[in-house]
Amino acid sequence: MEAPAGFLVVSLLLSCFVATSYGVYFSSLNQTLIVTATFTQGKVLKAGEDQITVSWRFNQTYRAGTDSDYKTVKVKLCYAPISQKDRSWRKTEDRLKKDKTCPHKIVARPYTASNNTFTWTVEKDIPSGVYFVRAYALNAHEQEVAYAQTTNVQKDKNLFQIQAITGRHVSLDIASVCFSAFSIVSLAGFFYMEKRKGKSSQ
Ligand SMILES: *[C@@H]1O[C@H](CO)[C@@H](O)[C@H](O)[C@H]1NC(C)=O
Ligand SMILES: *[C@@H]1O[C@H](CO)[C@@H](O)[C@H](O)[C@H]1NC(C)=O
Ligand SMILES: *[C@@H]1O[C@H](CO)[C@@H](O)[C@H](O)[C@H]1NC(C)=O
């Protein structure tokens, strides 16, 4: 009785391990979603300032119910090949757990088949580069089951450029650091005066 039970547990554990270690391959996903990104055309987007409006929906030409196990949509900002060149830390891997193409999360939302829009201000820590937007549909186990992207398969069309904050706002940042240093000093001064006043009134 005991041996088969033990065997069952071991094989159960083993199959879980196998399931998680195999992971999901990008090439196995179907492009059943449609994602669009709108922003001021013909302009380099400035990190920390400019906005991208992302919309996504189910592509209705796919059979109804194809999306029945979609639970969440994760929208991400991804590097175009030109911004991955000679940068192994941004490398594309078919196995999604190892893929570094899309490290910047834009938004995650519960899945709905239509009417999804989100306006994102390009975050301050986004490095300069050439990008596109990709959306993944995830199932209840947080596994990718479908995707969409704003570029073509070769990832050379409909790309956009972001300029990092570095070098643009340095003087402003220095000013704000000085300002907070000043506020701390004046606050300390204020407490010191208050304490003295308290002492002298006793
Ligand atoms: C992609 O579509 C094919 C054909 O419709 C289907 O057999 C396959 O399971 C789908 N893949 C995923 C990950 O849903
Ligand atoms: C929807 O999917 C069909 C079939 O794959 C494809 O031909 C079509 O271009 C897709 N529509 C959009 C707007 O991407
Ligand atoms: C989409 O959203 C608009 C405004 O929020 C609403 O009027 C419309 O009915 C929605 N359409 C669908 C298909 O949910």
Handedness of CA 175, 180, 185, 191 (dihedral sign): positive
Alpha carbon distance 120, 163 (integer Å): 15
Q: Helix, strand, or coil here: 120? A: strand
Q: List, in order of start, the domains of the chain with CATH numbers.
A: 23-163 (2.60.40.1930)
Centroid of ligand 1 to alpha carbon of 32 (angstroms): 10
Does residue 107 line the site of ligand 1, with CB under 6 A? no
Q: What is the pLDDT of residues 109-158, one digit of tens each?
A: 999 999 999 999 999 999 999 999 999 999 999 999 999 999 999 999 99
Bridge partners for 131 per DSSP: 79, 160
Asked which of 5-9, 126-130, 154-158, 179-183 is least confident by mean pLDDT, the reply is 5-9
Cβ(50)–Cβ(40) below 8 Å: yes
Alpha carbon distance 32, 48 (integer Å): 32
Asked which of 8-22, 108-122, 162-176, 183-197 is least confident by mean pLDDT, the reply is 8-22
Does residue 60 line the site of ligand 3, with CB under 6 A? no
pTM, rounded to two decimals: 0.75
Cβ(61)–Cβ(33) below 8 Å: no
Q: What is the pLDDT of residues 56-88, one digit of tens each?
A: 999 999 999 999 999 999 999 999 999 999 999
Atom from ligand 1 closest to the CA of residue 63: 5
